[in-house]
Structure 1
Amino acid sequence: MRSEIGINMRLLISITIALLMSGCAATTTTKEAAFPEMYSDVNRQAMLIVPVINETTAAEAPDFLNATVAQPLADKGYYVLPVPIVSNIFKEAGIIDGTQLKGIPFSTYKDKFGAESVLFIKLTSWETNYMVVSGNVTVGMEYILVSAETNNVLWSYKNTFVLDTSGSSGNLIADIIVTAISTAATDYVPVARRVHANAVTTLPVGKYHPKYLKDGKVKNVIPELATAPVERF
């Protein structure tokens, strides 16, 4: 009787694991399936990043994001037009938030900057949460890469990143103090870097990467996080 129960339990566990694995597999897709135009002949290597669209009350957050976005994109094989120079050009024109660029034809970025693709970044949340013995920094982001030639969305990604700042020494008083200090003194530059790094894992590599046009079968894109927006920036 016990052996029969044991066999049934092992069978049940095996079925459960198989279902979980099949469920996980169903939630991901390949880069090429999600972003087919990234594997076409459309030029997209010279990338321009417009000012961050900030929907939060964190006035300094766009500065952290702008300062850290170019490197992970360059590591993926793209030529990123110098962010400080581009930002200054926009500032001289009175543009400090990407919302101000809404409605401008994407071909304008090609004509004025020589850009082949344009990256829009929207900051949807930037919150520091402190709850006595637990704390975190929550950052919600949306990325959309658009072709300056075809106006089509080439790549998109959205997610919410949570950095835990809780203390966990086992001593309640000590944990309260550590959590309060850690949350208040969080260095947001590393936070911004980690958010960008997390996003570009789904971005197909560019022309200057050794795996250019060879990563299309990589299956690490979650469709829910990479849906092309109905309303473009």
Structure 2
Amino acid sequence: MKFRLLKGVACVALAVMFAGCAEVRTIDYSAFKESRPRSVVVLPPLNESPDVQATYGLLSQVTVPLAEAGYYVLPVALVDETFRQNGLTASGDIHQVEPAKLREIFGADAALYLSVKEYGTSYKLIASETAVTVGARLVDTKTGVALWTGSARASSEENNQNSGGLVGMLVAAAVKQIISSVQEDAAYPIAGLAAGRLLLPRQPAGILHGPRSPKYMTD
């Protein structure tokens, strides 16, 4: 009986191990390494969440992690105004502009296409969570080839121990709801965290270091 139990546990452990291995996303970096972009133009994110602040809440925070990764990033305010001057105000329309046209206008080696899947605070009976989920695609503006894709999520509930019992959880949820209601954009700092996770180089599925990084060409 003990042998059968141990055998069963071993089988479950192996299944979990292989399932975890199957979830690891591998990326072919050959196109990225061949292109080696130096400059990036960031397009206004597509907002797939119900929060109208999502597009600019994220857009205003992507420059720092990209610059820290070693890339020259065109000022997002200047890029946004350039699109407006040319009659493009909707993210969906901007994302339809050909990469070669973006290269002609901005002179950038690559374009970063972002989408906001989740943005804002959701309230439940004994908990509330402010979360941001972002997807990204880096495209070579000369060839139109996708160099890298990625996604990241950040939440206010990370490392939450749920201590204090039911009453404590209810009080904590009420406090969070009050704080979120008086803040103009409670998801804004969470968006910054998600942007950092998405764009700061990390392996095995992160963006590669740019030419301004001391780690350039070491990925």
Residue 115 (structure 1) aligned with residue 111 (structure 2): no
C-alpha separation in 2, matches of 1:180 and 1:88: 40
Q: Secondary structure at the match of 2:123?
A: strand
C-alpha separation in 2, matches of 1:93 and 1:181: 45
- Paired position in structure 1 for 2:121: 128
Shift in Å, 1:64: 1.5
- Paired residue total: 208
Shift in Å, 1:53: 1.4
Detail structure 1 runs of 4+ shifted over 6 Å in the superposition: none
Alignment of 1:189-204 (within 5 A): 189-200=188-199, 201=202, 202-204=206-208
Q: Do the aligned residues in 1 keep the contact of 2:43 with 2:95 (CA within 8 Å)?
A: no
Structure 1 vs Structure 2: percent identity of aligned residues? Answer: 22
Aligned letter for 2:195?
H
Alignment of 1:144-155 (within 5 A): 144-155=137-148
- Aligned CA RMSD, in angstroms, stands at 2.6
| Aligned with 1:70 (options 63, 67, 70) | 63
Q: Do the aligned residues in 1 keep the contact of 2:129 with 2:156 (CA within 8 Å)?
A: yes
Q: Structure 1 regions of 5+ residues with no counterpart?
A: 216-233
C-alpha separation in 2, matches of 1:168 and 1:15: 32
Aligned letter for 1:103?
Q
Deviations 1:58-98 (A, max 9, x none): 11122210121111111211111112222222233343332
Q: Do the aligned residues in 1 keep the contact of 2:131 with 2:187 (CA within 8 Å)?
A: no
- Paired position in structure 2 for 1:218: none
Aligned letter for 1:91?
R
- Paired position in structure 2 for 1:223: none
C-alpha separation in 2, matches of 1:167 and 1:214: 38
Q: Do the aligned residues in 2 keep the contact of 1:48 with 1:81 (CA within 8 Å)?
A: yes
Q: Do the aligned residues in 2 keep the contact of 1:132 with 1:180 (CA within 8 Å)?
A: no
Residue 54 (structure 1) aligned with residue 47 (structure 2): yes
Distance change (3 Å), C-alpha of 1:62 and 1:184: farther
Distance change (3 Å), C-alpha of 1:14 and 1:207: farther
Q: Do the aligned residues in 1 keep the contact of 2:99 with 2:144 (CA within 8 Å)?
A: yes
Shift in Å, 1:146: 0.7
TM-score, L = length of structure 2:
0.80
Aligned letter for 1:90?
F
C-alpha separation in 1, matches of 2:188 and 2:18: 37
Alignment of 1:30-179 (within 5 A): 30-31=26-27, 33=28, 35-40=29-34, 42-158=35-151, 160-164=153-157, 168-179=162-173
- Paired position in structure 2 for 1:17: 13
Distance change (3 Å), C-alpha of 1:134 and 1:99: same
Q: Structure 2 regions of 5+ residues with no counterpart?
A: 181-185
- Paired position in structure 2 for 1:207: 211
C-alpha separation in 2, matches of 1:66 and 1:148: 20
Q: Do the aligned residues in 1 keep the contact of 2:118 with 2:132 (CA within 8 Å)?
A: yes
Q: Do the aligned residues in 1 keep the contact of 2:139 with 2:147 (CA within 8 Å)?
A: yes
